[in-house]
Amino acid sequence: MIIGFIGLGIMGAPMAKNLIKGGYKVVVPAQSGKAGDLKTAGAETAEGYKEVAGKSDVVITMLPNSPEVKNVILGPGGVIEGVKQGAIVIDMSSIAPTASQEIGAALKAKGADFLDAPVSGGEPKAIDGTLAIMAGGDKAAFEKVKPVLENMGSSVTLVGDIGSGNVTKLANQIIVALNIAAVSEAFVLAAKAGVDPRAVFDAIKGGLAGSTVMNAKVPMILDGNFKPGFRIELHIKDLQNALDTAHNLNVPVPLTANVMETLQALKVEGHAKSDHSAIVRFYEELAKAEVRT
């Protein structure tokens, strides 16, 4: 099975490398800035998205948002122009569910299957191949590519039809954002009260308040390390998709709207490219207290 991989950013590059390590032949677009690194790792290059698709049985995209995915797959010189009959296109980006459905319908008309399969776990889990992958689409197509996905994730779940993967990811992103905000608020309170934040972390991480988010983000907050595993600007994008989807479905999401404004404020302050653990900075500024120790 030959796999085309388009989108070699913070997440995509290590994901593609894990496919190579898994023994798959991988084709990447020559115009990508990371193409050289992937070629060194064993990938083949192709000139443009159409050619990548023409050489591949499976095409994976990992891109910033809906417009980029639609352009790469449906635009001039895009995947749809070179995709083979019976091929499977997997978009692992986090985009609007309606965009996934539009792309899926266009590819179906060309005789190709489509899965939306966004991921959770950030750069560290992309590197070690333990992402959580939530997929939407045809069950038979999913089963064909499940071994491929398992080279990039430790959890691979089909959640429903096309678009369901991205609905699931939006739910994930709401929970993650609100969790980081709650952690930030709580630890700023502890710091302002004069209680050692590291001691607070040790005391509560094994209890009901403990979570994967807390374990991943509190050490970064305590060290003042906001190197991006997942950038604030990307979480803004995801929450905008969540708000749009919720409003289209007449679902009130007041807490999501609140944390969205927190992220927007941080963006204005120049933190758009910081890790989303930098949400703590918003609360630190309000309380005039620092959690970092």
Please identify which residue in the block is written with the tokens 């004069």: 194
Residue type, 5: F
Angle between helices 279-287 and 164-192 (to 10 degrees): 30
The pLDDT, as a whole number, for residue 34 is 85
DSSP 8-state class, residue 271: -
Domain boundaries, given as residue ranges, for the chain: 2-161, 167-287
Low-confidence ranges of the chain (pLDDT < 70): none
Say what the pLDDT of residue 119 is. Answer: 96
DSSP string, 20-54: HHTT-EEEEETTSTTHHHHHHHT-EEESSHHHHHH
Distances (CA, A) of 250 to 20, 237, 243, 285: 44, 20, 10, 34
**Domains 2-161 and 167-287 belong to one CATH topology:** no
The fold of 167-287 is N-(1-d-carboxylethyl)-l-norvaline Dehydrogenase; domain 2 (1.10.1040)
What local confidence, expressed as pLDDT, does residue 142 receive?
98
* Choice among 169, 237, 267, 288 that is catalytic: 169
Nearest to 54 by CA among 116, 104, 130, 2: 2
CATH of 2-161, one of 1.10.3720.10, 3.40.50.10880, 3.50.50.60, 3.40.50.720: 3.40.50.720
169 is a catalytic site residue: yes
Give the predicted TM-score (pTM) of the model: 0.91
Cβ–Cβ < 8 Å for 114, 162:
yes
Could you give the CA distance from residue 200 to residue 137 in angstroms, rounded to a whole number? 43
